[in-house]
């Protein structure tokens, strides 16, 4: 058995990748770890920088909400089918819902950030 491939290990790995990548996107959004261009942003005034951050956050929230919506429609449509992995027959639907939940969480976090940025008296 040493050195042998465990049947279905690739399918388990693929399902775990969904969970890891979905939670990584949420974590990066929560910790503000997404990349941004310091050289350009730091040259802007505080008010303009705050407004730009709010605009980018709103566009990002709209993007992630749209991606979650489309994935939700696919999940609902595929829930009627028996969508499962080929070898181990693991249902894919719960993993789709985890992905959708994380995408929705990113959209909500961004909306909350935009609201906070647009509150009077808020500085960048």
> What are the pLDDT digits (tens) for 48-79?
989 998 999 999 999 999 999 999 999 999 88
Candidates 34, 28, 35; CA nearest to 102 is 28
Q: Are 90 and 7 in contact (CB under 8 A)?
A: no
pLDDT at 1: 57
pLDDT band at 108 (very low <50, low <70, confident <90, very high): very high
**Which of 70 and 10 is assigned the larger pLDDT?**
70
pLDDT at 82: 82
Round to whole Å and give the CA distance between 63 and 50: 20
């Amino acid at each position: 058995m040493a050195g042998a491939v465990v049947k279905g290990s690739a399918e388990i790995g693929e399902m775990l990748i969904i969970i890891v990548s979905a939670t990584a996107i949420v974590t990066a959004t929560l910790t503000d770890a997404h990349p941004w261009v310091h050289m350009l942003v730091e040259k802007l005034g505080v008010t303009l920088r705050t407004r730009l951050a709010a605009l980018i956050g709103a566009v990002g929230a709209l993007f992630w909400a749209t991606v979650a919506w489309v994935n939700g429609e696919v999940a609902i449509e595929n829930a009627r089918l028996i969508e499962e992995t080929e070898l181990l027959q693991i249902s894919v639907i719960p993993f789709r819902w985890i992905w959708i939940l994380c995408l929705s969480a990113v959209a909500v976090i961004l909306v909350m950030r935009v609201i906070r940025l647009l509150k009077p008296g808020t500085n960048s």
